[in-house]
Amino acid sequence: EFLDFVNKNMKPIEKQMSYYQCAIMEVETKFKVLNEQYSLEYDRNPIEDIKSRVKSMESLIKKIRKKDIPLTLSSIEENIHDIAGVRVICSFPDDIYMLADCLLSQDDITLLEKKDYIKNPKPGGYRSLHLIVSVPIFLQDGKRNMTVEVQLRTIAMDFWASLEHKLRYKKDIPADKAKYLEDEMLACAQISAGLDMRMQNVRDVIAENAKPDEQSLLLKDLS
């Protein structure tokens, strides 16, 4: 059924996917501009890395089936919000909220949904700030608003999530070991959260004790 849908709509699907790619470019640029400005003004980069992707067809099909979404381009666009995904890896937890606020205050960005898995981690231990936003792309024949999922994480949050994602697919685990593994992953998530807090505190202490000329830079950094 899906193959039939794809075959009949090849051109519009390709076009839609390229629009998602354009939306990713817009959002990535916004973060790169913020990083550049921060680096000039405060001599520090709040962004360690940006990883973006348009959802693969395989993963898209899985989600359409799981959510039982009608097979039309508009209902897929309406119901699946992570076809365009931008993952921003930050240095410190504070940077996540600073960057999210900066992005959301831009007048061409509309917040559709916010999930704060840092303040409220998932039961398994997953932490990240998720923003579903709408961003315009400007085409030859006008403007189109596209939905993008932005995931903001620290290096420690990304380290945990990347490994957990790999381990999740190892399904042939005996039941008696599964509970132990779940507990271990949760414990690792808690250690990673503790590490984030301690590293941020180290930065704060350095800022408080910096020489006056450095201090003005670093204190601005904390405000």
For residues 38 and 126, which CB has a smaller minimum distance to ligand 0O2 in the complex?
126
Of the candidates 174, 87, 190, the residue with the CA atom closest to the CA atom of residue 129: 87
User: Residues with catalytic annotation?
Assistant: 149
Helix, coil or strand: residue 134: strand
Tokens of 25: 């470019």
For residues 188 and 210, which CB has a smaller minimum distance to ligand 0O2 in the complex?
188
CB of 46 to ligand 0O2, least distance (A): 21
Residues 6+ apart with CB under 8 A from 144: 19, 136, 137
Per DSSP, the residues of 16-55 read HHHHHHHHHHHHHHHHHHHHHHHHHHHS--SEEEEEEEEP
For residues 30 and 153, which CB has a smaller minimum distance to ligand 0O2 in the complex?
153
Q: Which of 130, 133, 147, 185 binds ligand 0O2 (CB under 6 A)?
A: 130
For residues 77 and 164, which CB has a smaller minimum distance to ligand 0O2 in the complex?
164
The set of long-range contacts for 105-108, using a CB threshold of 8 Å and a minimum separation of 24, is 106/30, 108/135, 108/136
Q: For residues 101 and 83, what is the distance between their CA atoms, to the nearest angstrom?
A: 23
* Residue span binding ligand 0O2 (CB under 6 A) among the ranges 4-12, 119-127, 140-148, 200-208: 119-127
CB of 124 to ligand 0O2, least distance (A): 5
For residues 17 and 217, which CB has a smaller minimum distance to ligand 0O2 in the complex?
17
* Residue span binding ligand 0O2 (CB under 6 A) among the ranges 2-10, 123-131, 173-181, 186-194: 123-131
**Spatial contact of 46 and 89, defined as CB atoms under 8 Å apart:** no
**Spatial contact of 23 and 146, defined as CB atoms under 8 Å apart:** yes
Q: For residues 121 and 57, what is the distance between their CA atoms, to the nearest angstrom?
A: 29
Q: Which of 122, 179, 198, 220 binds ligand 0O2 (CB under 6 A)?
A: 122
Give yes or no for residue 115 binding ligand 0O2 (CB under 6 A): yes
Query: Within positions 147 to 176, which residues make up the interface with ligand 0O2, using CB under 6 A?
Result: 161, 164-165
The site for ligand 0O2 (CB under 6 A) is made up of: 59, 82, 115, 122, 124, 126, 130, 161, 164-165
